[in-house]
Structures are given as structure tokens and as C-alpha cells.
Structure 1
Amino acid sequence: MFKNIGGIKLILPNSIEEKFVSFTSSKLGNFSKRVYDGLNFGFFCGDDLIEVNRNYLLIKKLFNVKRVIILNQVHGAHVVTCDINTPSFIDGDGLFTKYIGLGLGILTADCFNVQLIGKNESIANLHCGWRSVYNGIIERCLEKFKDEKIKKVIVGVGICEKCFEVRNDFINIVKKKFDMEECLLINNGKMYFNLRLQVEKILLENSIEKNCIEHIRYCSYCNDMFYSYRRDGVTGRMLSFLMRRR
């Protein structure tokens, strides 16, 4: 659901325990200008770094956050286990921690973010573009939880099945692993892929109960309240944020 917090609009899950902070930003907000107009969290997409940093400082103030770890995302399947000594910028496509008060941040502009919370209150935040999903980032992340049952998964904002047009080269890569029967759609001779459904299928195949999965069903491409790389080319990034409160 959309919620106005401190003058910016954030998307919050419908149900989450008070001890956790979870949101995905929209582009409706604060300091960035020009094509990045609004609440851009991407340091490496051409925006003024001072303005991007002001957006982070605002989030830290609003949620009483001391540190946010952000990834240099590489579209792989490496999930970084984070503690107080983990650098604020690190290569990978997923973050996992057992620490209280450590913010995990994923940047997106069409790819999905997936947040996981375990019974023992370990948390993870994943960057789930099709390459990361294909390379097994969800399965790698679940290994981090070991015997800790997952009690909540939030599949966030991302490009929908009506907008994610694909070509034969994509099909040839993913067809042996992805569910082409249900997730591949043909419309007016063009092919589209339902990555959100594919993510859910992988979660269910790995013993995540369906009633634990919450979808935030906004499409980044359809809705100009979000940054979309496919739609705009040069653009900013939304922040998917997850933290266990102090």
C-alpha cells in the first residue's frame, strides 16, 4: 500500500510485524532533478551524487537508520552475509543478515526485489532480475536460512507480464529451467514473460507456504510513479529496504 511518510510516498507491505521496517520507494519525493526527478537512490546512473545522498539521509532520519548496505548489482546469484563490518557498498545481488538495526537495500528499475524473513528473524533482500533468478539466487538465499523456516516473503515492484517483452535468445537460455508453459505469454505475435509468477513458483518449489508470500503488484513500466530502465533508458533507481528494528 502507498503511504506518505515525511513528504515522500513509499510502498509498504500490507502485513508485517512491527519489529521490521520494509518498504519500496516510488519516484515521488525529494531531491533529485532532471530525468531523475524525485527520490532516486542510484549512485551510479548519472545523477548528482550530493542529491542522491540527501535522499539516503532523509530515509535514515525517517526510520532511525544508522547504516544501509547497498550492492553493486551484477545480475548473479551471490548473496552476501552482512554484519557490522560489511562495507556499505559491495558486489552481489542479495543481502542476508541476523543483525538488528542493519538496513539491507536493493536498487531496482524494472527488476523485482524479494524480501524474506525467517522464524528466528534473520532477514534477506534480493535483486531478482531474470538472470539472477535463472542463476539461482532464491535457492542460494534459502540456504542461508538453513533450518530456519521462512515466515514472510514480499515480492515487490517490478515489470509485469504485459510489459516484459522477450525474444528467442531469452527463450533459448531459460527454457530448461523456467516454466514456459505458464509464464510465457504470446500476444499479437510478440512474446512476454511473467517473471513475478516464475519467482513465486521457485519459492513454492522450495517449501515456502503460499500464504507466507505477499505480492506488491505494481508494474514499474506501466506506472510512471516508478523508475523504469526499459521505458526511459536514462533513469533513477527505487530502493527496496528491509531492516529488523533496534
Structure 2
Amino acid sequence: MIEILTSDALAPLSHGFFTRKGGASSGIFQGLNCGPGSSDLSEAVAINRARVAAAMDVPPNHLQTVHQVHSADVVTLTEPLTDRPRADAMVTATPGLALGILTADCQPVLFADPQAGVIGAAHAGWRGVKDGVLEATLAAMEALGADRARTTAVIGPCISQAAYEVGPEFLESFLDDDPDHARFFAGGTGDRAMFDLPAFGLARLRAAGIGHAEWTRHCTYADEERFFSYRRTTHRGEADYGRLISVIRL
């Protein structure tokens, strides 16, 4: 059975942060792996994505994803694409298009201005947030008629601060940008620090003037039964990892 997490803040729009439950994949990809870039069987990934499309009540080719590259690039969709452009966010005002973001610790962020009939979805890892992918998504939504003061953004399951250990160079790069970024770090072991990715994402959204922003408070690293995690896979020395999908549609 597929499991879909939702947020009241995005109601009444159809959306969901899908967990790994209910898929056709097996082995280290056990469950609903929706990543075509993984080494999972392509047939299993296709089945999984078709199940997600059905849950969102759209044809499989209307479930749109991009080739994510940790950028701040946004694609505006008016019709289904046959390829996956290199970008990390999508926006649309076209009913029937479902915007899907793939993650395995990074933040999936779903955006909506229901009054304007404009939605967005962003893949927001630390690099993308630092480079402005969230602000770029809001700007692209505004180009379609949205109002950021009326827009809601919900950050889905991602890695939490308790599991996100980083080195001194990582911390220094953030402090070089803004000394106030120290508030997103806590002390770790030795010279390590613990980074609060969702807090950083929420702060950027609120500073950009968004109407409402929240995090579902699910940690991908901590809950193996429900979520894939790149970092957990890395710590175990596994060969690959599954990708979760988060989707919104008009």
C-alpha cells in the first residue's frame, strides 16, 4: 500500500510526499523507488512512477520530473515534456500537470498559490538553497501571476540536524556568506558541526517574503522503514540508494 504524507497548509491542492512504502522495487531499493537515475531495474521504476501518477490522478506522462543537478535553475511548464531538462525546480499554471521532485535527504519543497492557480516544486539541497533555488522558484511563480505573500511552501521529509554532520570547510563557506548563518549549526564531535538544513530552507523562504512556510518534520536518515537516505547508504557502504518522490498538481 502506497503511503502519502500531506500538509493541511497546501489544501485543497492535490499533493503528496510519498514514502518508500508500496513500490515494486526490491533489494536496497525496496519499495517505491522513483529515481530513473538509480541502478534499479528500469521496469520497476516505471511501475513505481505509474503508481504515483495514478495516486495523483494523472496519466504517467503528465508526472513531470527534471534532471536534478543541485542548481538554482527553474523550468516553467505549459505542457508535458518528453525529456528531462537539467534543472532543480519547476513551476506551472497548467491544470493536469503533476510536478515531481526526487530526493534522498535533500529537501523536497512544494509551493502553491491556489488563488492564482500557480504551483511549484523544488529540489533543495544545501547547495541549491545557498545558490537561491527557493527564491528563483518564487520568482518564476510570480511570472505566472502568483503572489509570494499569498504563497505557501511546505518542506517534506529530509535529513534533520541530528543526522547531518559536516566538516569545518562546509561551516566556513556558510559563515563567509553571512556570519549569521552560525545559527544553523550546532557543535559536533571534534571539529565537526551539525547542520540544520530545514531551518536554513525555512529561513530563506521567510526572508524572501513567502506567506507561509513549514517543514513536515520527518527525517529521512532516522526512519529507514519509510524513507530512502543517501547519507545512510553512504555510511553503510551500499552501492546505490532509492529516491523518494514528492508531487503537487493543480
Query: After TM superposition, is the score higher than 0.5?
Result: yes
Tell me which amino acid in the other structure corresponds to 2:228. Y
- Residues 227 and 137 (structure 1 numbering): CA distance in 2 closer, same or farther, change over 3 Å? same
Contact 1:134 1:177 in 2 (8 A): no
Per the alignment, residue 147 of structure 2 pairs with: 149
Residue 80 (1) aligns with residue 80 (2): no
1:1-40 aligned at under 5 Å gives the runs 7-18=1-12, 20-40=13-33
Q: How many residues align?
A: 235
CA distance in 2, matches of 1:59, 1:142: 25
Tell me which amino acid in the other structure corresponds to 1:129. G
Moved over 4 A (4+): none
- Partner of 2:63, secondary structure, is strand
- Partner of 1:181, secondary structure, is helix
Contact 1:69 1:88 in 2 (8 A): no
1:125-136 aligned at under 5 Å gives the runs 125-136=121-132
CA distance in 2, matches of 1:215, 1:129: 14
Tell me which amino acid in the other structure corresponds to 2:193. M
TM-superposed deviation, 1:16? 2.9
TM-superposed deviation, 1:12? 1.2
Tell me which amino acid in the other structure corresponds to 2:32. L
TM-superposed deviation, 1:140? 1.2
Residue 198 (1) aligns with residue 193 (2): no
- Partner of 1:96, secondary structure, is strand
TM-superposed deviation, 1:153? 1.0
CA distance in 1, matches of 2:221, 2:184: 18
Per the alignment, residue 237 of structure 2 pairs with: none
1:50-61 aligned at under 5 Å gives the runs 50-61=43-54
Tell me which amino acid in the other structure corresponds to 1:159. I
Q: CA RMSD in A?
A: 1.6
Contact 1:96 1:122 in 2 (8 A): yes
CA distance in 2, matches of 1:50, 1:148: 38
Per the alignment, residue 163 of structure 1 pairs with: 163
Tell me which amino acid in the other structure corresponds to 1:197. A
Contact 1:42 1:52 in 2 (8 A): yes
- Partner of 1:107, secondary structure, is strand
Contact 2:175 2:182 in 1 (8 A): no
Per the alignment, residue 247 of structure 2 pairs with: 241
Contact 2:92 2:141 in 1 (8 A): no
TM-superposed deviation, 1:54? 0.4
- Residues 223 and 240 (structure 1 numbering): CA distance in 2 closer, same or farther, change over 3 Å? same
CA deviation digits over 1:110-148, x for unaligned, max 9? 000111112402111000000101111111112113363
Contact 1:70 1:88 in 2 (8 A): no
- Partner of 1:145, secondary structure, is helix
Q: Whose helix fraction is larger, Structure 1's or Structure 2's? A: 2
Q: Which runs of 5+ in 1 are unaligned?
A: 1-6
Residue 172 (1) aligns with residue 172 (2): yes
Q: Whose strand fraction is larger, Structure 1's or Structure 2's? A: 1
TM-superposed deviation, 1:187? 3.0
Contact 1:13 1:214 in 2 (8 A): no
Q: Which runs of 5+ in 2 are unaligned?
A: 235-239
CA distance in 2, matches of 1:65, 1:85: 11
Greater shift in the superposed pair: 114-123 or 217-226: 114-123
CA distance in 1, matches of 2:103, 2:122: 10
TM-superposed deviation, 1:227? 0.2
- Partner of 1:24, secondary structure, is strand
TM-score (norm 2): 0.89
Tell me which amino acid in the other structure corresponds to 1:21. S
- Partner of 1:91, secondary structure, is coil
